[in-house]
A and B are shown apart, each in its own frame.
Chain A
C-alpha cells in the first residue's frame, strides 16, 4: 500500500509554545490529506481536510486559529498547534487518499503531543 510518513512521532512542549507536525506522502501525490485527533480508547475525530494549494476545511468545533493547516505541495501537509495548552495533549494522525474519489485512506504513524 501507499506510504504516509508523519513526523515527529512524539513531542513534549511547554504551555504557550507552538508545535508543528508534518505529514508526507512518500510514494504518491495526495491532493487531499486529513488530520485527526484521537483520545485514548476512542475512535478518530476528523479535525480538518487539507487541500493542496487552498485553505483547509475545518470540522465544526475545531478552532482554525489554534490548529493551523498548510498543504503547500502534493506530498506535504503540516499541522501547527499554536499556543499549546495541556488540553491540546493528544494523539494526532494524518491520512491521505490516493485519488479524489477512491475510498482507500492511508495513515501516518501518528504524533503524540504532550503539553506541560
Chain B
C-alpha cells in the first residue's frame, strides 16, 4: 500500500463546476498537508498549505484535512479552463526526516 493514494483521473468537468480532489494516507505522523498545481512542463506551484486538521480557504480554493480519517480534500469553486492542470497532494511530518510524500497527481480538465 502506498503511503499516499490519489486517483490519477483524468477528471473532466464543465466550466463553473465545483471540483473535489482527494487523497488518503496511511501514516498518522503526517502533520503538514499541501496541494500543488502543475501545468504541463512547469514546476509545481504551491496552492494550499495546512498544518494539522481543519479547513483553509483562499479565494476559490478550500483545503480540508481530516486526520481522524486520514483524508484530505481540495475544492475548487467556479472552475475555469485555466484551472486545467495536474493537482498533486503532498504531506510530511515527524517521520522519515520530514520527507515530503507526494500523491500521483490528478489530471483535471475544465471544459469551456
Residues of A within 8 A of B (CB): 1, 4, 6, 34, 41-44, 46, 49, 91, 93, 95, 100-110, 112
Measured CB to CB, the nearest residue on chain A to B4 is A43
* Other-chain contact of A91, B41, B46, B102 (Cβ < 8 Å): B41
A1 B46 Cβ-Cβ under 8 A = yes
* Other-chain contact of A43, B42, B93, B98, B104 (Cβ < 8 Å): B104
How many residues on the B side are at the interface (Cβ–Cβ under 8 A)? 28
What are 20 A-B pairs at a CB distance below 8 A? A34-B100, A43-B88, A43-B103, A43-B105, A44-B88, A46-B99, A49-B99, A93-B43, A95-B43, A102-B32, A103-B32, A103-B34, A103-B49, A103-B93, A105-B34, A105-B46, A107-B36, A108-B43, A110-B43, A112-B41
A43 B102 Cβ-Cβ under 8 A = yes
B100 A103 Cβ-Cβ under 8 A = yes
Residues of chain A within 8 A (CB-CB) of B41 are 91, 110, 112
A-B contacts besides A95-B43, A103-B31, 18 pairs, CB < 8 Å: A34-B100, A41-B107, A43-B105, A44-B88, A46-B99, A91-B41, A93-B43, A102-B32, A103-B32, A103-B33, A104-B32, A104-B49, A105-B90, A105-B100, A107-B43, A107-B45, A110-B42, A110-B43
Residues of chain A within 8 A (CB-CB) of B103 are 43
Q: Which of B79-108 contact A (CB under 8 A)?
A: 88, 90-94, 97-100, 102-105, 107
Residues of chain A within 8 A (CB-CB) of B14 are none
B51 A103 Cβ-Cβ under 8 A = yes
Interface presence of B44 (CB below 8 A) = yes
